[in-house]
Structure 1
């Protein structure tokens, strides 16, 4: 029984062919593309309003040089948000519960911000490794600590997203299993547990949206340090 709880995090295959690419591609098919009409329909208008508001909020702390990242950061936010929310549907697979996928997203973006900092302002980028006013005996130790904190950033991004989604899915499955087991024996307790399950589902929807936003927000903060 305990092993079955983790089967939902295994990458699905069909005829020994991994279907994770289908899970990664499918969310883009759900978004309508703008038409050539003068006035768009309500769905496209609402979608455009949400993207514009999110992009404005995301680029608020960034200077003009970081505005070039608006398209890629907004696309990453919509991509992660879609994957997280679609993974809550029954009989679906959540690709963002895979640490390899999250690290594959976190490492290139983090590395791009570091490379931009080293190219545009190498003195300021290296200056982050040594706080101003550090006593001379502590300089080697602080440089090592700051370097480790810099290198561990993509790991923190990937692990945070994976751990939050995995814990939420496990908790929902454990609670749902308890509801089915208690239903024939203690109906009242099963109904109370079902209420808790409903509240957990709402919480997990909020976590799915918040974690996608936090992932992109932290990337924008890393970008702000290097531009």
Structure 2
């Protein structure tokens, strides 16, 4: 019995090895390699179709100068999606429930988009801090507000991913605990809570995929503003 609900989000160790390291390495081992033996297999073709479709949708509105980010963001999309899905299995650890990791991914990528904009089009990038047609008395206030909103972007990226996954895992843990608690009281109530748990699990599978896509989509929007 866990003393704290949030203990499940703490990275445990096995033989003095942090499990978060294993969790971060697993996605790269389960992806199908593009070898001749499995080049035309169904999993490989499905994987290639998914990457092609998602990359096309993400980079369609971005200028050609930003397409060089396609490989990195597509790899990050698959990485986050696989990590989120693996975290739904029992006795596993989800690294994306750690705010430190999500901020470690969000801040460098956001900062890279900002620096690219300042290098390639400094006037347009700085112009985002002041909307066109702003009254003169409001100019200092709007510049401060837009600057704060600019620096909040990476924090919002990391917190959004962490909060959604953490809330889902907590709900699943609470409902599964309730299912075990009422098992000896009423089978009808047990079946109802178990049905809710199944539906919530299906929802969490969708959330795990959607949140990874939203993370990359917002990064692509930041990139679009600066290319």
TM-score normalised by L of structure 2 = 0.97
Q: CA deviation at 1:16?
A: 4.0
RMSD: 1.3
Please give the per-residue CA displacement for 1:14-39, whole angstroms capped at 9, x wherever unaligned.
34432211110111100110113695
Q: Determine the C-alpha separation between the residues in 2 that align with 1:12 and 1:107.
A: 26
Structure 2 stretches lacking a partner, 5+ long: none
Instruction: Name the counterpart of 1:111.
Output: 111
Q: CA deviation at 1:53?
A: 0.8
Q: Determine the C-alpha separation between the residues in 1 that align with 2:38 and 2:202.
A: 38
Structure 1 stretches lacking a partner, 5+ long: none
SS at match of 1:40: coil
Q: Determine the C-alpha separation between the residues in 2 that align with 1:3 and 1:38.
A: 47
Contact 2:157 2:215 survives alignment (8 Å): yes
Q: Determine the C-alpha separation between the residues in 1 that align with 2:175 and 2:197.
A: 6
Q: Determine the C-alpha separation between the residues in 2 that align with 1:2 and 1:87.
A: 18
Please give the per-residue CA displacement for 1:57-96, whole angstroms capped at 9, x wherever unaligned.
1111111111111100100100000000000000000000
Instruction: Name the counterpart of 1:48.
Output: 48
Q: Determine the C-alpha separation between the residues in 1 that align with 2:33 and 2:22.
A: 20
Q: CA deviation at 1:4?
A: 3.0
Q: Determine the C-alpha separation between the residues in 1 that align with 2:186 and 2:27.
A: 40
Q: Determine the C-alpha separation between the residues in 2 that align with 1:56 and 1:39.
A: 21
Does residue 198 of structure 1 match 2:198?
Answer: yes
Instruction: Name the counterpart of 2:7.
Output: 7
Contact 2:32 2:44 survives alignment (8 Å): yes
Q: CA deviation at 1:41?
A: 1.2
Please give the per-residue CA displacement for 1:154-194, whole angstroms capped at 9, x wherever unaligned.
00000000000000000000000000000011111010000
Q: Determine the C-alpha separation between the residues in 2 that align with 1:50 and 1:131.
A: 38
Contact 2:102 2:158 survives alignment (8 Å): yes
Please give the per-residue CA displacement for 1:95-150, whole angstroms capped at 9, x wherever unaligned.
00000000000000000000000000000000000001111111110000000000
Q: Determine the C-alpha separation between the residues in 2 that align with 1:2 and 1:180.
A: 14
Instruction: Name the counterpart of 1:147.
Output: 147
Q: Determine the C-alpha separation between the residues in 2 that align with 1:175 and 1:132.
A: 51
Q: Determine the C-alpha separation between the residues in 2 that align with 1:157 and 1:205.
A: 20
TM-score normalised by L of structure 1 = 0.97
Matches within 5 A, 1:1-227: 3-36=3-36, 40-227=40-227
Q: Determine the C-alpha separation between the residues in 1 that align with 2:221 and 2:12.
A: 35
Question: Compared with structure 1, are the counterparts of its residues 111 and 178 closer, same or farther at alpha carbon in structure 2 (3 Å cutoff)?
Answer: same
